[in-house]
Amino acid sequence: MATARSEGKDVIVIGGVFSPVNMVFVRKNSPIQSLKDLRGKKLGVFGGPGSTTFTFLAVLAQKWGGIDLLKETSLISGAAPLLIEQLSKGQIDAALLGTTDTVQMVAEDRFRSLVDLSEEYKAHQGGHAPAHVTIVTNEAYAKEHADVVRDYLKAYKATLEFIHAHPGVWDEYAASIMMDDPKERMLLEQKMGMNLIEKWDDEQIAAQNEYLKLVQETLGDTVLKTVPTDLIRTNFNPK
């Protein structure tokens, strides 16, 4: 979630897309049983330490695992196929994978899931998991083109409604990314479907703000310096 501000180009968050589907995997015979056990270990990160997904994991680890992943693990950045190969060979101890790679690894049952990011967050915080993929615009544009912004959100809402009414779109999407295994396709629908942000309401926004507060508390100014009080908006929600 962006928080950068510049004159005339203030970023605002006007909707959520989905919360993390991502998981951290270890080998099945690994002695690692919790995030704190990653201390001193090699952790593969598909998007690198600057990614939104890693930030989400780092918050979980520091807040509830008592471990600073940036300082207390050796981070190995790489594409998912490379990380999967390295994990298989024992060259790294754990790997944070992307959405579709997570689904594929669960379906293949090659590794053990150490943590499901959204489920871990909800286990500690309850309620909604925050969206880590959001819909943003800048305030100047939204002020001048409020109708366009609302129409965009209406289109997104209509897309969600279409997905619910036509579950076959999951198969179409799976085919488009060359995911042919029936079990993988089923898990794609299940895992992504349950993490879609259906409502951008007070409860969801409370979850977003609580998460941003945790980012500041656990990771400090180097990751998130300020959270403007008017960053997250509902005034463009379609009626």
Q: Is the pTM of this model over 0.75?
A: yes
Residue 159 has pLDDT above 90, yes or no: yes
Please enumerate, as own/partner, the contacts of 6-10 that have beta carbons within 8 Å and a separation of 24 or more.
Answer: 8/138, 8/140, 9/138, 9/139, 9/140, 10/138, 10/139, 10/140, 10/228
Residue 83 pLDDT level (bands cut at 50, 70, 90)? very high
The domain covering 1-230 belongs, at the CATH homologous superfamily level, to Periplasmic binding protein-like II (3.40.190.10)
* 202-219 and 52-64 helices, crossing angle to 10°: 70
Chain Cα centroid distance, residue 233: 20
* 117-125 and 202-219 helices, crossing angle to 10°: 100
Selection from 142-151, 214-223, 227-236 with the highest mean pLDDT: 142-151
Residue 31 has pLDDT above 90, yes or no: yes
Lowest model confidence (mean pLDDT) among 5-9, 144-148, 189-193, 200-204: 5-9
Mean pLDDT of 4-27: 82
Judge whether 218 and 134 are in contact, CB under 8 Å. no
Residue bearing tokens 């366009």 = 148
Mean pLDDT of 181-195: 95
